[in-house]
Amino acid sequence: MSQAKDTLLRLFALLRLIPTEPQRIATPTLLEKLRDRGFSVTLRSIQRDLNRLSIPFSLQCDDSETPFRWSFTRDAPLDLEDMDAPTALALYLSESHLNTLLPQTVLDQLGPQFRRARNFLNGLGGNGLADWARRVRALPNGKTLLPAALDSQVWGLVSAALLERRQLRVTYQSRSKGVLKQFRLHPAGLVSRHAISYLLATVEGYSDLRQFALHRIKQVQLLDEPAELHTSFEVDRYIADGAFSLRQADIDVELVADVHPQVASLLRETPLSREQTLSDLPGHDWQRLSVRVPLDRETLWWIFGLNDNIRVHAPQIWVDEIQQRLRSMFELYRGVDSEQEATPRRHPA
């Protein structure tokens, strides 16, 4: 590498190591970090570089103690601070998880940060955190759907309305009827759930909060009029009250069921709630499950997902629905084999 190029890269690496005030970094620490990056440098040369770069890059030196400590001023013209290893690792491991949660427009904005994190970890060589990134993965529980396609303009204007507390005029497509409707909305919050992002808002003339899937907003206009402040709204309380859990009733019920040994083992390690017991069944290797759960559709869907590895005894409303679903499925699949046999099979010519 030419001497000029080596000097340029060293100066660039040096600037990236310097934090913005009030954080500071000592010159011996800079020396150690530059040598870790493969630069052959002395403490004297670093001090000379810092003095030379201080004016054009708004560096300041705290000489109240030795060794001297350096930082960028808050109004420095460039932000060249290097990414630290814990931040890079957190971004690297969260990327695959966020891919199924955030709108594509948000992921596009985060893309440079994700690439920067990957490049930083790749450059660490034998560093333990880089090795951690190669060995650790996070997998979702259950089938993950691709995020709903979302227009970048919709996301931009909706988020701007929420940040600036302004009203929106939207053309919204109903999921059930497929018709387009015009609404004037007062945004209150945003919730990303599974593969869909929802705007929480009130409709002009009404006080109840409603959920609007962002991908069903076909047209949007950001208005100048201020939105209602929703001073009593708290998104955590809104979620805790069951807004997204599809509650059948605003009560908890006692789920009593017999479960397969493998399901029992899973529930011992990851209980459905803190109020859960598993007990032996005489003459059987299955377990009796008793647990307090919300009367909601999500718990019922979890039960359906276990198929014949669970036998529900209570609550009766779920027993009745399971029986009805079984009858419907039996009717749906009855005669399928005979229908397939009656269909002529085509053979290749």
User: Average pLDDT in the 223-242 region?
Assistant: 86
CATH number of 266's domain: 3.30.70
Q: Is residue 216 part of a domain?
A: yes
Per-residue pLDDT tens over the stretch 4-27: 556 777 887 888 888 888 888 999
49-62 core/surface letters (b: 16 or more CB in 10 A; e: else): bbeebeeebbbeee
Whether 340 is covered by a domain: the verdict is no
Q: Tell me: do 124 and 101 sit in the same domain.
A: yes
Percent above pLDDT 90 for the chain: 33
Band (pLDDT 50/70/90 cuts) for residue 319 is very high
- What pLDDT does residue 186 have? 96
Domain's final residue, options 72, 105, 126: 72
The answer on 90 and 25 residing in a single domain is no
Q: Which of 107-116, 313-322, 334-343 is the least confident region? A: 334-343
CB 260 within 8 A of CB 284: no
* 68 is a domain residue: yes
The amino acid that residue 259 corresponds to is V
Chain-centroid distance of CA 320 in Å reads: 36
Q: What per-residue confidence (pLDDT) applies to 226?
A: 92
Question: Can you list the alpha helix ranges (DSSP code H) found in the chain?
Answer: 3-17, 27-36, 43-53, 85-98, 104-122, 128-135, 152-164, 235-240, 261-269, 297-305, 316-333, 336-342
Q: 262 versus 336: which is more confidently predicted?
A: 262
Residue 142: phi and psi, rounded to 5, are: 100, 180
Residue 315: is its pLDDT beyond 60? Answer: yes
DSSP 144: P
DSSP helix/strand/coil, 130: helix
Q: Is 110 a member of any domain?
A: yes
State the number of CA atoms in the 13 A half-sphere of 32 facing the CB: 5
Q: What's residue 343's pLDDT?
A: 54
Let me know whether 98 and 28 are in one domain: no
Provide mean pLDDT across the span 224-253. 81
Residue whose C-alpha is closest to residue 257's, from 208, 213, 300: 300
Does 275 lie in the same domain as 258?
Answer: yes
- DSSP of 284-342, one letter per residue? EEEEEEEEEEEEEHHHHHHHHHTGGGEEEEE-HHHHHHHHHHHHHHHHHHTTHHHHHHH
| pLDDT value of position 57 | 81
Which backbone phi and psi does 274 adopt, to 5 degrees?
-70, -25
269 & 328 share domain: yes
pLDDT higher than 70, residue 231: yes
Could you tell me if residue 57 is inside a domain?
yes
The answer to whether residue 224 scores a pLDDT higher than 50 is yes
Quote the pLDDT of residue 348. Answer: 45
Tell whether 12 is covered by a domain: yes
Cα-based angle 145, 141, 294 (whole degrees, multiple of 5):
100
Domain match, 49 and 91 both: no
227 and 262 in a single domain? The answer is no
Rounded to an integer, the average pLDDT of 335-345 is: 58
**Is residue 277 included in any domain, yes or no?**
yes
3-state secondary structure of 18: coil
CB-based burial of residue 79 (10 Å sphere; 0-12 exposed, 13-18 middle, 19+ buried)? exposed
Q: Is the pLDDT of residue 182 over 90?
A: yes
Least confident of 50-64, 131-145, 207-221, 314-328: 131-145
pLDDT at 125 over 70: no
Please give the pLDDT value at position 73: 85
Examine the pLDDT at 136 and tell me if it is beyond 80. no
Domain count across the chain? 4
Alpha-carbon distance 321 to 223, whole Å? 46
Q: Which domain holds residue 201?
A: 152-240
- For β-strands 180-193 and 69-72, DSSP reports them as unpaired
Residue 235 shares a structural domain with residue 165: yes
Q: What is the CATH number of the domain that holds 44?
A: 1.10.10.10
C-alpha distances in Å from residue 236, one per residue of 252, 325, 339 = 19, 34, 51
Q: How many angstroms from the chain centroid is the CA of residue 107? A: 10
